Amino acid sequence: MILRTFPYALTAAAILASAAACAPDQGANSPWQTVFGISDCDLLVTGGNSYFILEPGHQLVMKGDDAELQITVLDETETVDGVITRVVEEREWEDGELLEVSRNYFVICERTQDVFYFGEDVDFYEDGKIVNHDGSWRAGVDGNKPGLIMAGAPKPEMKYYQEIAPGTAMDRAEIVSLDETCEVPAGTFPKCLKIKEGTALNIFEREYKYYAPGIGLIRDKDLVLTKYGFVSD
């Protein structure tokens, strides 16, 4: 779930603004939500909401010009910060070579259907060998906290942190629309959710993602959904 960053030539003012954005916004008037009432939830590891599915075996396959992303809900759980979470694996290839494998940790609130993100363990590959674990983080370590990956009742202009791991992973999202029609190789889908994502670690970075009801992610930058469904072990 990493948003990759690139170097920029910054003015002094921009550097200060970027540094200030490396921690979650605080205060009652903050536009970015960082508190989600997780302690009031009965947390589940199976289920999901309209746009995010946590049923073991659910898989999305997305492709771009030279890239492929495979997202699979595993029949595995992992305890993170004292909470049992569902493991969702992402595998990414570039030019046919394995680039990244990540294990992401999610739970769903039974009452609200909000899906929370408790962290990820990341392996980056070069020539078939693991070279680093950049972007890895877990809630409960070094002050990291879980974020909201998908609201159960999303509304336009909602703004929230998906990851709260200062200095490592600070992705945040804003809901743009709930009524997009998206045409991808896997089909044409109405009532899609459009989200603008960025990161407090690089305030100039932006990208858009689209989610279809009952399916999940169908477009991520140049990657588009080619097939989806349930796979067996």
Tokens at 228, concatenated: 């989806």
Kindly state the average pLDDT of the residues 21-34.
62
Tokens at 153, concatenated: 């009742």
Query: How far apart, in whole angstroms, are the C-alpha atoms of residue 223 and residue 68?
Result: 7
Residue 101, helix vs strand vs coil = strand
The residues, ordered by sequence, that sit 6+ positions from 198 with a Cβ below 8 Å of its Cβ are: 3, 171, 172, 173, 205, 206, 207
- The amino acid present at 141, given as its one-letter code, is V
Write down how long the chain is.
233
Q: Is the pLDDT of residue 4 over 80?
A: no
Q: Is the dihedral of CA 103, 112, 45, 39 positive or negative?
A: positive
Which of 115, 106, 100, 61 shows the shortest CA–CA distance to 88? 106
pLDDT in tens, 186-199: 999 999 999 999 99
Residue 26: pLDDT band (50, 70, 90) is very low
Q: Domain ranges in the chain?
A: 32-172
Q: Tokens 């992303």, residue?
A: 69
Q: Is the pLDDT of residue 28 over 50?
A: no
Confidence at residue 232, expressed as pLDDT on a 0 to 100 scale: 78
- In DSSP notation, 62-97 reads EE-SSEEEEEEEEEEEEEETTEEEEEEEEEEEETTE
- The amino acid present at 16, given as its one-letter code, is L
User: pLDDT exceeding 90 applies to what percent of the chain?
Assistant: 85
pLDDT in tens, 69-99: 999 999 999 999 999 999 999 999 999 999 9
Neighbours of 141 (CB within 10 A): 13
Per the DSSP assignment, residues forming a β-bridge with 196 are 174, 208
Which of 163, 169, 171 shows the shortest CA–CA distance to 145? 163
Confidence at residue 24, expressed as pLDDT on a 0 to 100 scale: 55
Q: Is the pLDDT of residue 17 over 90?
A: no
